[in-house]
Each structure stands twice: as structure tokens, then as C-alpha cells.
């Protein structure tokens, strides 16, 4: 199984990347293939129906599309901006649909305050449903993100670490259940094709 992490934070001085790198490292420690897609490294313009006017963006979108297609499950990570998700994450998700169909997706939200981005996480789960994917019920909320990780992206408190580990445990169970269902369906389809 391969997991793609979509890091929806692009501003200078950002802090949300710490949670993303923590999850990326933890997945690799669990022998799970992890691909961290950092939206600060992309150059997608504000969404429009045709990218022909932006050849560089078309190339960038194609690369992201391929990486999302290769993933069996995804984790979206966003800071909370004005009670919702980041604009860069929403803009990116507007470009993609088929790449996310029927895939399990975990939601992570961060904030500088004590609520941990709860409003952003709710909006994110609504968006996941709207694009035809499966949002994992459990979310990981990271309050005071600027104080929650050290320079090596390790949690500074037992509470952040235990909630992060619980999120990963649930996410991997959820993702594996849907992944196995997809494999079973593919096998059943192949058997039916051979019998026909």
C-alpha cells in the first residue's frame, strides 16, 4: 500500500509542515510507502477549466495527478485559515477528481490556537465526501502547532504523540480495509472475465 500526504501549507514561516513530516517519517518507520506532496513546491494557478494557457502549470498538474493516482490512500493536512482549509489546498483539490475517487483519505488540521483546526477539519471532510472519496471518521487536530514539534519533527508532548499514533493506527486500518476490498473486487472481476 502507498500513501500520499498532501501538505496544504505554502506560506513563508509555516508550521503545519512539521505535522506532515512527522506522519511521513512515521509511515516510513512502519514500512509503508509514503509520498509527501508539498504544495509549497507547486505552481498551480487559481483553478480554471483549461491549463493550456499555463504550460508550466500543466506539467506540474500532470506530475501531481500521477502521484495521486499511484497512491492507494491519502492524508490531507491543512492549517486552519479563517475557520476553513487553506486556499492552496482547496485550489489544488479543484484540479483533481478522478485521482481521488473511492480512496480513503485522512484529515489533519493544525492551528496556532488551542482548538487544533477543528473547523478546517470539518470542512475538509465535507470536501472529501464531495469529491467521491471516503473520509476517515477520526481526525488528527494539532493545536499550537508552532510549539508541538521539535526541529526533527518529533512531538514535544505525549498528548500530541499519542493522538498522532492513534490517528495513524486508525488510518492504516481504514485504508487497508478499503485497499483489500479493491483487491478482492479486482480478483472477482478477473475470475468472472476468465469464466465468460
pTM: 0.91
Per-residue pLDDT of the chain (196 residues; tens, 9 = 90+): 999 999 999 999 999 999 999 999 999 999 999 999 999 998 787 776 555 666 666 778 889 999 999 999 999 999 999 999 999 999 999 888 889 999 999 999 999 999 999 999 999 999 999 999 999 999 999 999 999 999 999 999 999 999 999 999 999 999 999 999 888 887 777 776 666 5
The three-state DSSP-derived secondary structure of the chain is CEEEEEECCCCCCCCCHHHHHHHHHHHHHCCCEEEEEEHHHCCCCCCCCCCCCCHHHHHHHHHHHHHHHHCCEEEEEEECECCECCHHHHHHHHHCCHHHCCCEEEEEEECCCCCCCHHHHHHHHHHHHHCCCEECCCCEEECCHHHHECCCCCECCHHHHHHHHHHHHHHHHHHHHHHHHHHHHHHHHHHHHHHC
* Domains of the chain: residue spans and CATH: 2-195 (3.40.50.360)
- Please enumerate in sequence order all residues whose Cβ is within 8 A of that of 17, keeping only pairs 6 or more positions apart, or say none: 7, 9, 38, 40
Distances in whole angstroms, Cα of residue 113 to Cα of each of 16, 57, 79, 83: 13, 34, 11, 12
Amino acid at each position: 500500500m502507498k500513501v500520499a500526504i498532501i501538505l496544504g501549507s505554502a506560506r513563508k514561516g509555516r508550521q503545519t509542515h512539521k505535522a506532515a513530516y512527522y506522519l511521513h517519517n512515521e509511515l516510513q518507520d512502519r514500512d509503508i510507502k509514503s509520498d509527501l506532496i508539498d504544495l509549497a513546491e507547486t505552481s498551480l494557478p487559481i483553478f480554471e477549466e483549461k491549463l493550456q494557457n499555463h504550460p508550466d502549470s500543466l506539467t506540474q498538474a500532470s506530475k501531481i495527478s500521477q502521484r495521486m493516482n499511484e497512491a492507494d490512500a491519502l492524508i490531507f493536512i491543512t492549517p486552519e485559515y479563517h475557520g476553513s482549509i487553506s486556499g492552496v489546498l482547496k485550489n489544488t483539490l479543484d484540479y483533481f477528481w478522478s485521482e481521488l475517487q473511492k480512496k480513503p483519505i485522512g484529515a489533519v488540521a493544525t492551528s496556532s490556537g488551542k482548538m487544533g483546526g477543528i473547523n478546517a477539519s470539518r470542512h475538509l471532510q465535507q470536501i472529501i465526501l464531495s469529491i467521491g472519496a471516503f473520509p476517515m471518521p477520526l481526525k488528527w487536530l494539532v493545536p499550537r502547532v508552532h510549539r508541538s514539534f521539535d526541529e526533527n519533527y518529533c512531538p514535544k508532548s505525549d498528548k500530541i504523540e499519542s493522538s498522532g499514533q492513534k490517528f495513524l493506527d486508525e488510518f492504516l486500518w481504514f485504508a487497508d480495509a478499503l485497499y483489500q476490498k479493491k483487491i478482492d473486487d479486482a480478483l472477482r472481476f478477473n475470475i468472472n472475465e476468465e469464466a465468460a
